[in-house]
Protein backbone atom coordinates (compact mmCIF):
# COMPACT_ATOMS: atom_id res chain seq x y z
CA UNK A 1 0.00 0.00 0.00
CA UNK A 2 1.28 3.45 -0.92
CA UNK A 3 1.70 6.32 1.53
CA UNK A 4 -1.19 8.16 -0.06
CA UNK A 5 -3.45 5.15 0.41
CA UNK A 6 -2.44 4.99 4.07
CA UNK A 7 -3.34 8.65 4.57
CA UNK A 8 -6.71 8.23 2.85
CA UNK A 9 -7.45 5.14 4.91
CA UNK A 10 -6.66 7.09 8.11
CA UNK A 11 -8.90 9.92 7.02
CA UNK A 12 -11.75 7.51 6.28
CA UNK A 13 -11.44 5.99 9.71
CA UNK A 14 -11.50 9.46 11.25
CA UNK A 15 -14.48 10.26 9.17
CA UNK A 16 -16.37 7.22 10.26
CA UNK A 17 -15.45 7.80 13.86
CA UNK A 18 -16.12 11.38 14.91
CA UNK A 19 -15.42 13.93 12.20
CA UNK A 20 -17.82 12.44 9.56
CA UNK A 21 -21.01 12.97 11.47
CA UNK A 22 -19.95 16.46 12.45
CA UNK A 23 -19.05 17.49 8.90
CA UNK A 24 -22.11 15.72 7.36
CA UNK A 25 -24.32 17.61 9.68
CA UNK A 26 -22.51 20.81 8.58
CA UNK A 27 -23.26 19.96 4.90
CA UNK A 28 -19.63 19.83 3.74
CA UNK A 29 -18.78 17.59 0.76
CA UNK A 30 -16.43 14.66 0.84
CA UNK A 31 -13.21 16.30 -0.57
CA UNK A 32 -13.61 19.36 1.47
CA UNK A 33 -13.83 17.16 4.46
CA UNK A 34 -10.57 15.41 3.48
CA UNK A 35 -8.87 18.75 3.25
CA UNK A 36 -9.97 19.82 6.66
CA UNK A 37 -8.87 16.55 8.19
CA UNK A 38 -5.45 16.92 6.57
CA UNK A 39 -5.06 20.42 7.98
CA UNK A 40 -5.97 19.17 11.42
CA UNK A 41 -3.45 16.37 11.21
CA UNK A 42 -0.70 18.81 10.12
CA UNK A 43 -1.55 21.04 13.05
CA UNK A 44 -1.25 18.09 15.39
CA UNK A 45 2.12 17.10 13.90
CA UNK A 46 3.45 20.69 14.29
CA UNK A 47 2.27 20.81 17.89
CA UNK A 48 3.91 17.48 18.72
CA UNK A 49 7.18 18.61 17.08
CA UNK A 50 7.31 21.78 19.17
CA UNK A 51 6.77 19.78 22.31
CA UNK A 52 9.29 17.05 21.47
CA UNK A 53 12.01 19.24 19.85
CA UNK A 54 13.76 20.40 23.12
CA UNK A 55 13.70 16.85 24.44
CA UNK A 56 15.26 15.56 21.27
CA UNK A 57 17.87 18.31 21.38
CA UNK A 58 18.85 17.34 24.96
CA UNK A 59 19.32 13.75 23.91
CA UNK A 60 21.19 14.62 20.73
CA UNK A 61 23.64 17.15 22.29
CA UNK A 62 25.83 14.59 24.14
CA UNK A 63 25.85 12.47 21.03
CA UNK A 64 27.07 15.37 18.97
CA UNK A 65 29.74 16.15 21.66
CA UNK A 66 30.92 12.58 21.69
CA UNK A 67 31.19 12.69 17.95
CA UNK A 68 33.16 15.99 18.08
CA UNK A 69 35.51 14.55 20.74
CA UNK A 70 36.02 11.46 18.72
CA UNK A 71 36.82 13.56 15.67
CA UNK A 72 39.21 15.74 17.71
CA UNK A 73 41.00 12.76 19.17
CA UNK A 74 41.35 11.26 15.79
CA UNK A 75 42.76 14.50 14.45
CA UNK A 76 45.07 14.89 17.54
CA UNK A 77 46.28 11.34 17.15
CA UNK A 78 47.17 12.05 13.57
CA UNK A 79 48.96 15.24 14.64
CA UNK A 80 50.80 13.37 17.41
CA UNK A 81 51.96 10.80 14.94
CA UNK A 82 53.26 13.64 12.79
CA UNK A 83 54.95 15.31 15.82
CA UNK A 84 56.52 12.02 16.91
CA UNK A 85 57.92 11.65 13.42
CA UNK A 86 59.43 15.18 13.71
CA UNK A 87 60.80 14.37 17.18
CA UNK A 88 62.45 11.21 15.89
CA UNK A 89 64.12 13.20 13.13
CA UNK A 90 65.27 15.86 15.64
CA UNK A 91 66.74 13.24 17.92
CA UNK A 92 68.59 11.69 15.00
CA UNK A 93 70.09 15.17 14.44
CA UNK A 94 70.73 15.46 18.24
CA UNK A 95 68.49 18.51 18.43
CA UNK A 96 67.51 17.66 21.99
CA UNK A 97 66.13 21.02 23.06
CA UNK A 98 63.80 21.26 20.02
CA UNK A 99 62.69 17.67 20.59
CA UNK A 100 62.02 18.46 24.26
CA UNK A 101 59.85 21.44 23.36
CA UNK A 102 57.76 19.33 20.91
CA UNK A 103 57.39 16.58 23.50
CA UNK A 104 56.26 19.20 26.01
CA UNK A 105 53.68 20.45 23.47
CA UNK A 106 52.13 16.97 23.27
CA UNK A 107 52.17 16.69 27.05
CA UNK A 108 54.98 14.18 27.35
CA UNK A 109 56.61 16.15 30.19
CA UNK A 110 58.81 13.45 31.67
CA UNK A 111 60.34 12.55 28.29
CA UNK A 112 60.71 16.27 27.53
CA UNK A 113 62.49 16.80 30.86
CA UNK A 114 64.98 14.05 30.02
CA UNK A 115 65.85 15.65 26.70
CA UNK A 116 66.10 19.12 28.33
CA UNK A 117 68.73 17.57 30.60
CA UNK A 118 70.57 16.16 27.58
CA UNK A 119 70.42 19.63 26.01
CA UNK A 120 71.92 21.14 29.19
CA UNK A 121 68.78 23.15 29.94
CA UNK A 122 68.53 22.12 33.59
CA UNK A 123 66.15 24.91 34.57
CA UNK A 124 63.47 23.88 32.02
CA UNK A 125 63.89 20.25 33.05
CA UNK A 126 63.59 21.22 36.71
CA UNK A 127 60.40 23.12 36.01
CA UNK A 128 58.83 20.06 34.35
CA UNK A 129 59.87 17.73 37.17
CA UNK A 130 58.46 20.24 39.64
CA UNK A 131 55.11 20.27 37.78
CA UNK A 132 55.15 16.46 37.82
CA UNK A 133 55.69 16.49 41.57
CA UNK A 134 59.19 15.00 41.39
CA UNK A 135 60.65 17.60 43.77
CA UNK A 136 63.91 15.74 44.50
CA UNK A 137 64.86 15.76 40.81
CA UNK A 138 63.58 19.33 40.40
CA UNK A 139 65.69 20.60 43.32
CA UNK A 140 68.80 18.82 42.06
CA UNK A 141 68.34 20.25 38.56
CA UNK A 142 67.67 23.78 39.84
CA UNK A 143 70.89 23.41 41.80
CA UNK A 144 72.81 22.21 38.69
CA UNK A 145 71.27 25.04 36.67
CA UNK A 146 72.48 27.66 39.14
CA UNK A 147 69.05 28.78 40.36
CA UNK A 148 70.12 28.55 43.98
CA UNK A 149 67.11 30.35 45.40
CA UNK A 150 64.59 28.06 43.69
CA UNK A 151 66.65 25.02 44.59
CA UNK A 152 66.71 26.20 48.20
CA UNK A 153 62.93 26.62 48.27
CA UNK A 154 62.33 23.09 46.98
CA UNK A 155 64.96 21.51 49.23
CA UNK A 156 63.18 23.25 52.09
CA UNK A 157 59.82 21.80 50.90
CA UNK A 158 61.23 18.29 50.99
CA UNK A 159 62.89 19.01 54.36
CA UNK A 160 66.43 18.65 53.03
CA UNK A 161 67.67 21.44 55.30
CA UNK A 162 71.37 20.98 54.64
CA UNK A 163 71.03 21.41 50.87
CA UNK A 164 68.47 24.18 51.40
CA UNK A 165 70.91 26.04 53.65
CA UNK A 166 73.72 25.60 51.13
CA UNK A 167 71.54 26.89 48.28
CA UNK A 168 70.31 29.91 50.27
CA UNK A 169 73.90 30.68 51.21
CA UNK A 170 75.01 30.56 47.56
CA UNK A 171 71.99 32.64 46.57
CA UNK A 172 73.00 35.40 48.98
CA UNK A 173 70.20 34.77 51.49
CA UNK A 174 72.57 34.65 54.43
CA UNK A 175 69.98 35.12 57.16
CA UNK A 176 67.80 32.23 55.91
CA UNK A 177 70.84 30.02 55.48
CA UNK A 178 72.09 30.91 58.96
CA UNK A 179 68.75 29.98 60.49
CA UNK A 180 68.86 26.55 58.83
CA UNK A 181 72.45 25.86 59.84
CA UNK A 182 71.44 26.84 63.36
CA UNK A 183 68.63 24.24 63.25
CA UNK A 184 71.13 21.68 62.01
CA UNK A 185 73.36 22.45 65.00
CA UNK A 186 76.19 23.83 62.84
CA UNK A 187 76.78 26.78 65.14
CA UNK A 188 80.06 28.00 63.69
CA UNK A 189 78.68 28.09 60.13
CA UNK A 190 75.50 29.83 61.30
CA UNK A 191 77.57 32.36 63.26
CA UNK A 192 79.70 33.18 60.20
CA UNK A 193 76.59 33.81 58.11
CA UNK A 194 75.02 36.04 60.76
CA UNK A 195 78.35 37.91 60.79
CA UNK A 196 77.91 38.50 57.03
CA UNK A 197 74.41 39.80 57.78
CA UNK A 198 75.95 42.16 60.34
CA UNK A 199 78.41 43.53 57.76
CA UNK A 200 75.64 43.96 55.15
CA UNK A 201 73.42 45.72 57.67
CA UNK A 202 76.28 48.02 58.62
CA UNK A 203 76.81 49.03 54.99
CA UNK A 204 73.10 49.73 54.59
CA UNK A 205 72.95 51.63 57.86
CA UNK A 206 70.14 49.36 59.02
CA UNK A 207 68.82 49.00 62.54
CA UNK A 208 69.25 45.23 62.88
CA UNK A 209 73.04 45.21 63.24
CA UNK A 210 73.02 44.57 66.99
CA UNK A 211 70.51 41.74 66.59
CA UNK A 212 72.72 39.98 64.04
CA UNK A 213 75.80 40.59 66.19
CA UNK A 214 74.07 39.08 69.20
CA UNK A 215 73.03 35.97 67.25
CA UNK A 216 76.46 35.59 65.67
CA UNK A 217 78.33 36.11 68.93
CA UNK A 218 76.18 33.66 70.90
CA UNK A 219 76.59 31.00 68.21
CA UNK A 220 80.37 31.52 68.11
CA UNK A 221 80.36 31.06 71.87
CA UNK A 222 78.34 27.85 71.51
CA UNK A 223 80.90 26.71 68.95
CA UNK A 224 83.69 27.47 71.44
CA UNK A 225 85.05 30.36 69.36
CA UNK A 226 85.10 32.95 72.16
CA UNK A 227 87.62 35.22 70.43
CA UNK A 228 85.45 35.43 67.30
CA UNK A 229 82.45 36.15 69.51
CA UNK A 230 84.29 39.04 71.17
CA UNK A 231 85.23 40.56 67.82
CA UNK A 232 81.60 40.48 66.67
CA UNK A 233 80.32 41.96 69.94
CA UNK A 234 82.84 44.80 69.86
CA UNK A 235 82.07 45.60 66.23
CA UNK A 236 78.45 46.18 67.19
CA UNK A 237 79.25 47.99 70.44
CA UNK A 238 77.92 45.15 72.62
CA UNK A 239 80.43 45.80 75.42
CA UNK A 240 78.61 43.86 78.11
CA UNK A 241 78.49 40.67 76.02
CA UNK A 242 82.15 41.18 75.05
CA UNK A 243 83.07 41.55 78.71
CA UNK A 244 81.42 38.24 79.61
CA UNK A 245 83.23 36.53 76.72
CA UNK A 246 86.58 37.99 77.83
CA UNK A 247 85.93 36.70 81.35
CA UNK A 248 85.45 33.21 79.93
CA UNK A 249 88.78 33.67 78.13
CA UNK A 250 90.21 34.83 81.51
CA UNK A 251 91.38 38.05 79.91
CA UNK A 252 90.26 40.09 82.91
CA UNK A 253 91.88 43.38 81.89
CA UNK A 254 89.99 43.49 78.58
CA UNK A 255 86.88 42.30 80.37
CA UNK A 256 87.29 45.21 82.77
CA UNK A 257 87.60 47.69 79.90
CA UNK A 258 84.42 46.32 78.31
CA UNK A 259 82.51 46.42 81.60
CA UNK A 260 83.74 49.99 81.99
CA UNK A 261 82.43 50.91 78.52
CA UNK A 262 79.16 49.20 79.38
CA UNK A 263 78.88 51.33 82.54
CA UNK A 264 79.14 48.40 84.96
CA UNK A 265 81.72 49.93 87.27
CA UNK A 266 81.51 47.29 90.00
CA UNK A 267 82.27 44.44 87.58
CA UNK A 268 84.95 46.51 85.86
CA UNK A 269 86.74 47.09 89.18
CA UNK A 270 86.43 43.41 90.05
CA UNK A 271 87.94 42.33 86.71
CA UNK A 272 90.80 44.82 86.89
CA UNK A 273 91.55 43.48 90.36
CA UNK A 274 91.52 39.89 89.08
CA UNK A 275 93.78 40.92 86.22
CA UNK A 276 96.31 42.39 88.65
CA UNK A 277 95.78 46.06 87.75
CA UNK A 278 95.09 47.44 91.21
CA UNK A 279 95.60 51.04 90.08
CA UNK A 280 92.87 50.74 87.46
CA UNK A 281 90.63 48.89 89.89
CA UNK A 282 90.98 51.71 92.44
CA UNK A 283 90.33 54.35 89.77
CA UNK A 284 87.06 52.66 88.85
CA UNK A 285 86.07 52.20 92.49
CA UNK A 286 86.69 55.92 92.99
CA UNK A 287 84.28 56.66 90.13
CA UNK A 288 81.76 54.23 91.57
CA UNK A 289 81.80 55.82 95.03
CA UNK A 290 81.83 59.32 93.56
CA UNK A 291 78.63 58.54 91.65
CA UNK A 292 77.14 57.38 94.94
CA UNK A 293 78.28 60.72 96.48
CA UNK A 294 80.47 58.90 99.01
CA UNK A 295 83.18 61.50 98.53
CA UNK A 296 85.68 60.50 101.21
CA UNK A 297 85.67 56.89 100.00
CA UNK A 298 85.99 58.08 96.40
CA UNK A 299 88.97 60.26 97.34
CA UNK A 300 90.55 57.37 99.21
CA UNK A 301 90.40 55.09 96.16
CA UNK A 302 91.78 57.86 93.92
CA UNK A 303 94.67 58.25 96.35
CA UNK A 304 95.26 54.48 96.30
CA UNK A 305 95.29 54.67 92.51
CA UNK A 306 98.01 57.32 92.77
CA UNK A 307 95.78 60.02 91.34
CA UNK A 308 96.41 62.58 94.07
CA UNK A 309 95.02 65.46 92.03
CA UNK A 310 91.66 63.75 91.57
CA UNK A 311 91.64 62.75 95.23
CA UNK A 312 92.33 66.38 96.19
CA UNK A 313 89.58 67.68 93.90
CA UNK A 314 87.08 65.31 95.53
CA UNK A 315 88.20 66.33 99.02
CA UNK A 316 87.77 70.01 98.14
CA UNK A 317 84.23 69.13 97.09
CA UNK A 318 83.86 67.34 100.44
CA UNK A 319 85.27 70.49 102.16
CA UNK A 320 88.19 68.50 103.57
CA UNK A 321 90.56 71.34 102.70
CA UNK A 322 93.63 70.43 104.77
CA UNK A 323 93.77 66.90 103.36
CA UNK A 324 93.08 68.26 99.88
CA UNK A 325 95.95 70.73 100.17
CA UNK A 326 98.35 68.00 101.28
CA UNK A 327 97.32 65.78 98.37
CA UNK A 328 97.77 68.63 95.89
CA UNK A 329 101.22 69.14 97.39
CA UNK A 330 102.02 65.41 97.08
CA UNK A 331 100.95 65.59 93.45
CA UNK A 332 103.27 68.53 92.83
CA UNK A 333 100.32 70.84 92.23
CA UNK A 334 101.76 73.52 94.52
CA UNK A 335 99.70 76.47 93.27
CA UNK A 336 96.44 74.57 93.89
CA UNK A 337 97.75 73.39 97.28
CA UNK A 338 98.66 76.95 98.28
CA UNK A 339 95.22 78.27 97.29
CA UNK A 340 93.53 75.58 99.41
CA UNK A 341 95.79 76.35 102.41
CA UNK A 342 95.06 80.06 101.95
CA UNK A 343 91.34 79.25 101.89
CA UNK A 344 91.56 77.85 105.42
CA UNK A 345 93.92 80.61 106.61
CA UNK A 346 97.01 78.41 106.96
CA UNK A 347 99.43 81.14 105.84
CA UNK A 348 102.57 79.23 106.73
CA UNK A 349 101.64 76.22 104.51
CA UNK A 350 100.35 78.62 101.88
CA UNK A 351 103.69 80.47 101.87
CA UNK A 352 105.65 77.22 101.56
CA UNK A 353 103.54 75.92 98.68
CA UNK A 354 103.37 79.27 96.87
CA UNK A 355 107.17 79.31 97.05
CA UNK A 356 107.31 75.75 95.65
CA UNK A 357 104.95 76.86 92.88
CA UNK A 358 107.34 79.70 92.00
CA UNK A 359 104.78 82.31 92.99
CA UNK A 360 107.29 84.23 95.13
CA UNK A 361 105.25 87.41 95.44
CA UNK A 362 102.34 85.51 97.00
CA UNK A 363 104.76 83.41 99.04
CA UNK A 364 106.30 86.60 100.44
CA UNK A 365 102.88 88.03 101.33
CA UNK A 366 101.84 84.78 103.02
CA UNK A 367 105.19 84.67 104.82
CA UNK A 368 104.61 88.19 106.05
CA UNK A 369 101.12 87.23 107.30
CA UNK A 370 102.52 84.12 108.96
CA UNK A 371 105.02 86.29 110.85
CA UNK A 372 108.11 84.96 109.14
CA UNK A 373 111.43 86.85 109.58
CA UNK A 374 111.69 89.97 107.42
CA UNK A 375 114.82 88.65 105.78
CA UNK A 376 112.85 85.62 104.55
CA UNK A 377 110.16 87.91 103.22
CA UNK A 378 112.80 90.00 101.50
CA UNK A 379 114.40 86.97 99.92
CA UNK A 380 111.07 85.84 98.54
CA UNK A 381 110.34 89.28 97.07
CA UNK A 382 113.83 89.27 95.60
CA UNK A 383 113.18 85.80 93.98
CA UNK A 384 109.96 87.15 92.58
CA UNK A 385 111.73 90.15 91.02
CA UNK A 386 110.11 92.73 93.30
CA UNK A 387 113.41 94.39 94.18
CA UNK A 388 111.88 97.45 95.83
CA UNK A 389 109.97 95.34 98.37
CA UNK A 390 112.95 93.02 98.79
CA UNK A 391 115.28 95.95 99.46
CA UNK A 392 112.83 97.47 101.96
CA UNK A 393 112.59 94.23 103.94
CA UNK A 394 116.37 93.78 103.87
CA UNK A 395 116.69 97.35 105.06
CA UNK A 396 114.28 96.61 107.94
CA UNK A 397 116.46 93.62 108.81
CA UNK A 398 119.56 95.83 108.86
CA UNK A 399 121.03 94.01 105.89
CA UNK A 400 122.22 97.14 104.12
CA UNK A 401 124.37 95.44 101.54
CA UNK A 402 121.59 93.03 100.54
CA UNK A 403 119.18 95.94 100.41
CA UNK A 404 121.62 97.94 98.29
CA UNK A 405 122.02 95.01 95.85
CA UNK A 406 118.25 94.68 95.56
CA UNK A 407 117.62 98.40 95.00
CA UNK A 408 120.36 98.63 92.39
CA UNK A 409 118.64 95.84 90.36
CA UNK A 410 115.74 98.15 89.55
CA UNK A 411 115.58 99.44 85.98
CA UNK A 412 115.88 103.27 85.67
CA UNK A 413 112.77 103.22 83.48
CA UNK A 414 110.75 101.64 86.28
CA UNK A 415 108.42 103.68 88.48
CA UNK A 416 110.20 102.09 91.44
CA UNK A 417 113.54 103.55 90.47
CA UNK A 418 113.06 106.86 92.33
CA UNK A 419 111.98 105.38 95.70
CA UNK A 420 114.79 102.81 95.34
CA UNK A 421 117.30 105.61 94.72
CA UNK A 422 116.12 107.41 97.86
CA UNK A 423 116.61 104.19 99.84
CA UNK A 424 120.09 103.83 98.32
CA UNK A 425 120.88 107.34 99.49
CA UNK A 426 119.67 106.36 102.99
CA UNK A 427 121.92 103.26 102.96
CA UNK A 428 124.93 105.30 101.85
CA UNK A 429 124.17 107.70 104.70
CA UNK A 430 123.89 104.86 107.25
CA UNK A 431 127.18 103.42 106.01
CA UNK A 432 128.84 106.86 106.51
CA UNK A 433 129.32 107.38 102.83
CA UNK A 434 128.07 110.97 103.04
CA UNK A 435 129.34 112.21 99.70
CA UNK A 436 127.76 109.31 97.78
CA UNK A 437 124.58 109.69 99.78
CA UNK A 438 124.42 113.46 99.15
CA UNK A 439 124.92 113.00 95.39
CA UNK A 440 122.34 110.24 95.14
CA UNK A 441 119.75 112.16 97.12
CA UNK A 442 120.42 115.39 95.27
CA UNK A 443 119.94 113.55 92.01
CA UNK A 444 116.65 112.16 93.25
CA UNK A 445 115.37 115.64 94.08
CA UNK A 446 116.88 117.27 90.99
CA UNK A 447 115.43 120.68 91.82
CA UNK A 448 111.95 119.29 92.39
CA UNK A 449 110.00 121.04 95.18
CA UNK A 450 109.37 118.92 98.25
CA UNK A 451 106.33 116.66 98.07
CA UNK A 452 105.10 113.36 99.41
CA UNK A 453 107.12 111.35 96.91
CA UNK A 454 110.50 112.96 97.71
CA UNK A 455 110.11 113.97 101.38
CA UNK A 456 112.30 111.00 102.41
CA UNK A 457 115.06 112.22 100.06
CA UNK A 458 114.86 115.74 101.57
CA UNK A 459 115.03 114.31 105.08
CA UNK A 460 118.22 112.28 104.43
CA UNK A 461 119.70 115.15 102.47
CA UNK A 462 119.27 117.22 105.64
CA UNK A 463 120.88 114.43 107.66
CA UNK A 464 123.88 114.40 105.30
CA UNK A 465 124.31 118.18 105.62
CA UNK A 466 123.92 117.95 109.42
CA UNK A 467 126.57 115.21 109.61
CA UNK A 468 128.86 117.25 107.35
CA UNK A 469 128.64 120.19 109.84
CA UNK A 470 126.57 122.41 107.60
CA UNK A 471 123.95 123.22 110.22
CA UNK A 472 122.27 126.14 108.48
CA UNK A 473 121.83 124.27 105.24
CA UNK A 474 120.55 121.29 107.19
CA UNK A 475 118.04 123.49 109.08
CA UNK A 476 116.81 124.93 105.77
CA UNK A 477 116.18 121.43 104.42
CA UNK A 478 114.49 120.33 107.65
CA UNK A 479 112.28 123.38 107.43
CA UNK A 480 111.04 122.30 104.03
CA UNK A 481 110.28 118.86 105.44
CA UNK A 482 108.26 120.35 108.31
CA UNK A 483 106.34 122.50 105.88
CA UNK A 484 105.32 119.37 103.98
CA UNK A 485 104.68 117.15 107.03
CA UNK A 486 105.06 118.71 110.41
CA UNK A 487 105.52 115.54 112.46
CA UNK A 488 107.78 113.74 110.03
CA UNK A 489 110.18 111.47 111.95
CA UNK A 490 112.51 113.38 114.32
CA UNK A 491 112.84 116.58 112.28
CA UNK A 492 111.61 118.97 115.04
CA UNK A 493 114.09 117.57 117.56
CA UNK A 494 116.92 117.90 115.09
CA UNK A 495 116.09 121.53 114.36
CA UNK A 496 116.01 122.26 118.08
CA UNK A 497 119.43 120.65 118.54
CA UNK A 498 120.88 122.71 115.72
Residues 379 and 389 sit within 8 Å (Cβ to Cβ)? no
Three-class DSSP category at 32: helix
Residue 356 class from Cβ within 10 Å (0-12 exposed, 13-18 middle, 19+ buried)?
A: middle
Predicted local confidence at residue 76, as pLDDT = 59
**Rounded to the nearest 10 degrees, what angle do helices 252-262 and 278-291 cross at?**
20
Q: 345 φ, ψ to 5°? A: 75, 20
Predicted local confidence at residue 20, as pLDDT = 53
Q: Which of 354, 347, 348 is nearest to 328 (CA)?
A: 354
- Report the alpha-carbon angle 172-176-181, nearest 5: 105
Q: Which of 256, 249, 210 is nearest to 233 (CA)?
A: 210
Q: How far apart are CA 376 and CA 379, in angstroms?
A: 5
Predicted local confidence at residue 206, as pLDDT = 74
Helices then strands, counting H and E runs in the chain, come out as 31, 0
Q: How far apart are CA 85 and CA 286, in angstroms?
A: 95
Q: How far apart are the first and last CA of the chain?
A: 208
Residues 187 and 222 sit within 8 Å (Cβ to Cβ)? yes
Which runs of consecutive H residues, i.e. helices, occur in 205-346?
209-222, 226-235, 239-248, 252-262, 265-274, 278-291, 295-304, 308-317, 321-330, 334-343
Q: How far apart are CA 376 and CA 387, in angstroms?
A: 14
Q: What is the mean pLDDT of each run of 10 residues along the chain (498 residues)?
A: 51 52 52 70 70 60 57 57 84 87 87 89 90 91 90 90 90 90 92 90 82 92 92 93 94 95 94 95 95 94 94 94 94 95 95 95 94 92 92 91 92 91 90 90 88 90 90 91 91 88
Residues 198 and 232 sit within 8 Å (Cβ to Cβ)? yes
Residues 214 and 229 sit within 8 Å (Cβ to Cβ)? no
Q: How far apart are CA 402 and CA 420, in angstroms?
A: 13
Instruction: Transcribe 342-359 into DSSP letters.
Output: HHTT-HHHHHHHHHHTT-
Q: Where are the beta strands (DSSP E) in 102-188?
A: none
Residues 309 and 331 sit within 8 Å (Cβ to Cβ)? yes
If residue 473 lies in a helix (H) or strand (E), which one and from where to where? helix 471-484
Q: What count of Cα atoms within 13 Å lies in the side-chain half-sphere of residue 77?
A: 6
> What is the phi-psi region of residue 163: left when phi exceeds 0, alpha when psi lies from -120 to 50, beta otherwise?
alpha
Domains of the chain: 1-80 (no CATH), 410-498 (1.25.40.10)
Three-class DSSP category at 3: helix
Return contacts of 254-262, CB within 8 angstroms, 24+ apart: 254/230, 256/280, 256/281, 256/284, 258/234, 260/284
Q: Which of the 8 DSSP states describes residue 200? A: H
Residue 30 class from Cβ within 10 Å (0-12 exposed, 13-18 middle, 19+ buried)?
A: exposed
Name the maximum alpha-carbon separation found in the chain: 210
Any residues with CB less than 8 A from the CB of 78 and at least 6 apart, and which? none
Q: 426 φ, ψ to 5°? A: -60, -40
Predicted local confidence at residue 235, as pLDDT = 92
Residues 266 and 251 sit within 8 Å (Cβ to Cβ)? no
Residues 246 and 268 sit within 8 Å (Cβ to Cβ)? no
Q: How far apart are CA 98 and CA 119, in angstroms?
A: 9
Radius of gyration of the chain from Cα atoms? 63
Q: Which of 168, 188, 187, 166 is nearest to 176 (CA)?
A: 168
Compute CA distances 179 → 157, 161, 218, 230, 387, whole Å. 15, 10, 13, 21, 85
Predicted local confidence at residue 100, as pLDDT = 86
Q: How far apart are CA 88 and CA 278, in angstroms?
A: 90
Residues 245 and 230 sit within 8 Å (Cβ to Cβ)? yes
Q: Which of 381, 413, 414, 385 is nearest to 395 (CA)?
A: 381
Amino acid sequence: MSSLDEVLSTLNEAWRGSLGPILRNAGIDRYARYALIAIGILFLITLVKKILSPIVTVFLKPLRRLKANFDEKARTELEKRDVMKQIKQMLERQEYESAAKLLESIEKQEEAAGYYVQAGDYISAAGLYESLGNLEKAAALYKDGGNNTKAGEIFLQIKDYRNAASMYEKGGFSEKAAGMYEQLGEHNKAAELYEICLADEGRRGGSSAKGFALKSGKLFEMAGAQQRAVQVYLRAGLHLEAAVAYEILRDFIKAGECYLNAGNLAKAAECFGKGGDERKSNEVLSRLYYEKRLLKEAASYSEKAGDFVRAAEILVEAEEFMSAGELYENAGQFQEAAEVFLRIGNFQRAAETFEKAGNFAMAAKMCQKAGCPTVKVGELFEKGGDYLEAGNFFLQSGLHDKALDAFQMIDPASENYKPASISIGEIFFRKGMLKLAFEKLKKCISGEPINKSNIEAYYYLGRCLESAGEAEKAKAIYGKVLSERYNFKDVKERIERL
